[in-house]
Structure 1
Amino acid sequence: MKRKLIPYAFAAPALLVFGFAVLAPALATGAFSLTEWTGFGPMEFVGFDNFLRAAQDTIFLDSFVHVGIYILVTIVVEVAVGLVLAGLLVTRRGGAPWFRVALFTPVMLPMVVVAVLWAFVYNADFGLVNALLEVVGLPGKVWLGDESTALLAVCAVSGWVYAGFYMAIFYAAFAQIPSDVVEAARLDGAGELAIFRRIKVPMIRDAVEVCLLLCVTGGFQTFDLFYVMTGGGPYNATEIPTTYLTRVVFRDGEVGYGSAMAVLMTAAVVLIGLAFMRLRRRTAR
């Protein structure tokens, strides 16, 4: 009997931490979403009023559009660029280790530091981007203060940070491809581009799918980059669900409404994950 309890005894600490750090807050958030509460004093039960309010909140709805645009752009500037970089590096003997380290270095930097650094780079008065534009005779812009460029400017920073991360994943996957397959394709007269498109990429399909899922779910978790660089502005042009619900809870003191938005965002991420897994199973047949 004691031997049967040993696995549960070893798992108990991890289960306690999970229950305290994940399960309990999730249940509490679900309970708070049904109330009107400022974080202090008594709660008032309002049922699904917070969810109905969220469905009519244009800023909250637009925040999903913004994060959707962010995810689509970062799939290109992070996943696709990382895939191309890995393909270029794997063709070099040894994979140019110093080049790999240089590309991966931004991932190791704190995101707040990256955001502050790039805020200076985008600065309209003395930023590096406008200085380079002046050199080639083009007018500068207020990159983070213009509704038409702020979101894309943040996406570019995200690509600079995470392209090296996905490059490392793809490089490791490419390294697992049997060399005799590639050599056989070369003997048949296939060029490097054809080998990359028709042999290497299809053979690391699982890695590509994992990276796409990481990019999509990670997009919904993004917070610090947007919060530090734009704060959701200008005029809510870069407001995403995480920054908006943080503003609602901590600035406006609407814990119940913020919790309802958190529940809806979590539900959206779960549904996207389930849809992705179902699509993956269909295409794998």
Structure 2
Amino acid sequence: MHKFRLSPYLFTAPAVLLFSFTILLPIVMTFFFSFYDWNGFGTMKFIGFDNYVRAFHDHIYLLSYWHILIYIILTIFLEVFAGLFLAGLITVKLKGTSLFRVAFFTPVMLPMLVTSFMWRFVYNSDFGLLNAVLKFLHLDSWTNVWLGNPHTALYALCIVSGWSYAGFYMTIFYAGIQRIPNDIYESAYLDGATERDIFFKIKIPMIKNLVEVALTLCILGGFQGFDLFYVMTNGGPYNATEIVTTYLVKVVFTNGSIGYGSALAVVMTLVVVGVGVVLNMLKRNGNETLEY
């Protein structure tokens, strides 16, 4: 009898152990290290909340959250809303839409490392494709050092992110639109509805939940960005594209400050959890309002 009672725990034990060592233990150790001044090799010195106080006085760290906010706002338009528009475009009953569907989704299949190096070539100020096209169109005054200019670097990265992930959200919305019954479209056409009316009054309202999920993924995913920023600018120029993750790497691996880096990671985790809770509350309040 005891053997059968223990069997569920024995089956789940490997997964629990794996989760504990790969997720829970690093979280606990990061929180523990955040109260110490430690470079990873020498003696650990307990300093209490000094690392957290330092974090809230670190101009670059605080500025990195502002950059994330700008990045999230722009990518909502360049990824989610652009993906919604593309999904509406490829679900119109026209010939050749399957080709566009493949073309729009292709950037999603490329590794971000490949995409980053490709767009570095596009933005190159000396022989880049973008400046070459502008010169060909006799718009020489519009040419720029796109990734070397603090005023344009962050926006240039947002465009790359939109190009990469718009197809991902397009696929999500396309799957939702495909589930809408054809009877609804036929009734709308009989009432004289145009494709624009169908898109805004039928397709979008009926995939509202998917749009909310996509917005949540985009917002929370903005805090996880790293590879695009690291490869293309590494936080430069002059910290103009510095985000929390790139700054964490510099603090821990370049400056060798394990304790301070752990404090920065804990603060970021609390911010992400807080944002997630707020988004969940807004979604819940919105659903209760609709039900009422």
TM-score norm. by structure 1 comes to 0.97
Report whether the alignment pairs 1:177 with 2:196.
Answer: no
- Map of 1:256 onto structure 2: 259
User: How many Å separate the matches in 2 of 1:182 and 1:17?
Assistant: 49
Q: Deviations over 1:137-171 (max 9, x none)?
A: 11210000001100000000000100011101110
Q: Distance in 2 between matches of 1:184 and 1:220?
A: 43
For residue 162 of structure 1, what is the amino acid of its counterpart? Y
Amino acid at match of 1:207: L
Aligned partner letter, 2:212: E
Instruction: Give the Å deviation of 1:93.
Output: 5.7
Structure 2 CA distance for aligned equivalents of residues 120 and 145 of structure 1? 13
Give, in whole Å, the separation in 2 of the partners of 1:227 and 1:276: 28
Residue identity matched to 1:277? N
Task: Name the aligned partner's letter for residue 249 of structure 1.
Answer: V
Cα distance in 1 between the residues matched to 2:243 and 2:82: 24
Q: Report the identity percentage.
A: 57
Aligned residues: 285
Q: CA deviation at 1:92?
A: 2.8
C-alpha deviation, 1:183, in angstroms: 1.6
Whether 2:73 is the aligned partner of 1:85: answer no
CA distance in 1, matches of 2:104, 2:19: 34
Instruction: Give the aligned partner of residue 246 of structure 1.
Output: 249
Which residue, 220, 223, 226 being the options, matches 2:223? 220
Counting only pairs closer than 5 Å after superposition, residues 266-285 of structure 1 correspond to structure 2 as 266-285=269-288
Hey, what's the Cα distance between the residues in 2 that align with 1:95 and 1:178? 22
3-state DSSP of counterpart to 2:223: helix
Which amino acid in structure 2 is aligned with residue 99 of structure 1? Answer: F
**Counterpart of 1:76?**
77
Q: 1:97: Cα distance to partner?
A: 2.7
Instruction: For structure 2, list consecutive stretches of 5 or more residues without a partner in the other structure.
Output: none
The one-character-per-residue Cα deviations of 1:69-114 (angstroms, maximum 9, x if unpaired) are: 0010000000000000001111136883332222212112111111
Moved over 6 A (4+): none
- Residues 1-43 of structure 1: CA deviation (Å, up to 9, x unaligned): 4333333222222111111111100111001111111011211
TM-score by length of 2: 0.95
Alignment partners' CA distance in 2, 1:177 and 1:94: 20
Of 148, 151, 170 in structure 2, the residue corresponding to residue 148 of structure 1 is 151
Alignment partners' CA distance in 2, 1:166 and 1:284 = 22
Residue equivalent to 2:233: 230
RMSD value, Cα:
1.3
Determine if the alignment matches structure 1 residue 48 to structure 2 residue 49: yes
Listed as ranges, the matches of 1:66-215 within 5 Å are 66-92=67-93, 96-139=97-140, 140-215=143-218
CA distance in 2, matches of 1:284, 1:259: 37
Match of 1:11 in 2: 12
Q: Distance between the aligned counterparts of 1:171 and 1:94, measured in 2?
A: 17
Give unmatched runs, 5+ long, in structure 1.
none
Q: Which residue identity is paired with 1:186? A: Y
Question: What is the distance in 2 between the residues matched to 1:253 and 1:94?
Answer: 58
Distance in 1 (alpha carbons) for counterparts of 2:43 and 2:96: 61
